[in-house]
Amino acid sequence: MMAELAPLANKRLAIFGCGYVGTTVAREARQAGLQVTALTRNPARAAELVDIGVNSIVDDLAADTWHERITPGVDLVLNCVSSGGRGLTGYRRSYVEGMRSILAWAQRGTAGTMIYTSSTSVYPQDGGGTVDETAATDGAGETGRILLEAEALLRAGREARGRWFILRLGGIYGPGRHHLLDQVRAGVTEITGGGAHHLNLVHRDDIGAAVFAAFAAPASVPDGIFNVVDDAPAPKSEVVGWLAERLGRPPPRFAGGAASAQRGFASPPDRLISNARLKAQLGWRPQYPSFREGYAALLSA
């Protein structure tokens, strides 16, 4: 990836919400010669970032206390904040109030390209059909509507930024984040939910590659929304069965719709998220095109 990032060398990058994805981007950016400033709620994460040459700030994104500590007018901005907990209130503070805070800061010195990592959870579609970026988001759930509100703020913030990209991420997995693998490895006998619905997964490193593809996109590429998922959505039962076979474990059964509902687990929608626009317009290609390549790398690590 380093050769592809050469045009970004020496540019100034600000990362807000520098957690699982943001730290990966920060590390790649530093290796490529970018100047990186990161804001995080986590002091331990901040110390880790300092060790790789990142100017780290510990603060609450939704506040304005950090505005004087990060010089505006940066070339690149990545907002990859995650929920701060506390239910819908925490969601709104992290995503909506956090976006407002970034835009208020950026108005002091217009930023260049801004990227916001949203989620494919904004799509309400069910029934196993293919969903692309033109799909309606009417009917999104409560958390999805909060994410859409943050997206709308970015799109409207013309005084604060140049180009914008919204990356709607699928189910994130990767080193240190592999719940299904942990369950199968632990020998659980039952997994909540049904096995027939498709998982639209994306490896952490492929998200980082999508971020840099957007930052490095030529001027001819317009602002846009892009789904970031792998090439091969697969039924959950197929993923679990493959993991069980590789680990030499009996495949766990699935609790199913009625049993899961009784325990308070809602069935996720079943749809196939398309990444065709991301590949066509930004030239992105996943290093891990399916769960098999991604989980195989985790198992061999």
Hey, where are the domains in the chain? 3-173+202-231+272-288
Lowest mean pLDDT among 85-94, 142-151, 224-233: 85-94
> In the prediction, which pLDDT does 2 show?
57
CATH code reported for the domain at 3-173+202-231+272-288 = 3.40.50.720
Global pTM value: 0.95
**How confident is the model at residue 86, as a pLDDT?**
76
Return the biggest CA–CA distance within the chain: 58
Q: How confident is the model at residue 113 (pLDDT cuts 50, 70, 90)?
A: very high
Residues 153-167: tens digit of each pLDDT? 999 999 999 999 999
- Residue 85 has what pLDDT? 72
Supply the pLDDT for residue 5.
84
141's CB contacts (< 8 A; 6+ apart) are 121, 124
- Average pLDDT, rounded, for the chain: 94
DSSP state of 144: H
Q: Containing H/E element for 37?
A: strand 35-40
Please check the confidence at residue 4 and state whether its pLDDT lies above 80: no
pLDDT, residue 255, reads 85
Beta-carbon contacts of 188 under 8 Å, excluding residues fewer than 6 positions away, are: 252
User: Higher model confidence: residue 259 or residue 112?
Assistant: 112
Supply 157's token pair: 């913030």
- Average pLDDT of the residues in 111-139: 97
User: Burial level of 201, CB count in 10 A (0-12/13-18/19+)?
Assistant: buried
pLDDT recorded at residue 161: 94
pLDDT of 3? 60
Residue 193's pLDDT is 84
pLDDT at site 56? 97
- In DSSP notation, 173-223 reads EBTTB-HHHHHHHTT-SEESS-SSSEE-EEEHHHHHHHHHHHHT--TTSPP
How many Å apart are CA 170 and CA 119, to the nearest integer?
6
Look at residues 122, 136, 214, 213 and name the one whose alpha carbon lies nearest to residue 169: 122
Q: At residue 17, does pLDDT exceed 70?
A: yes
Statement: residue 233 has pLDDT above 50: yes
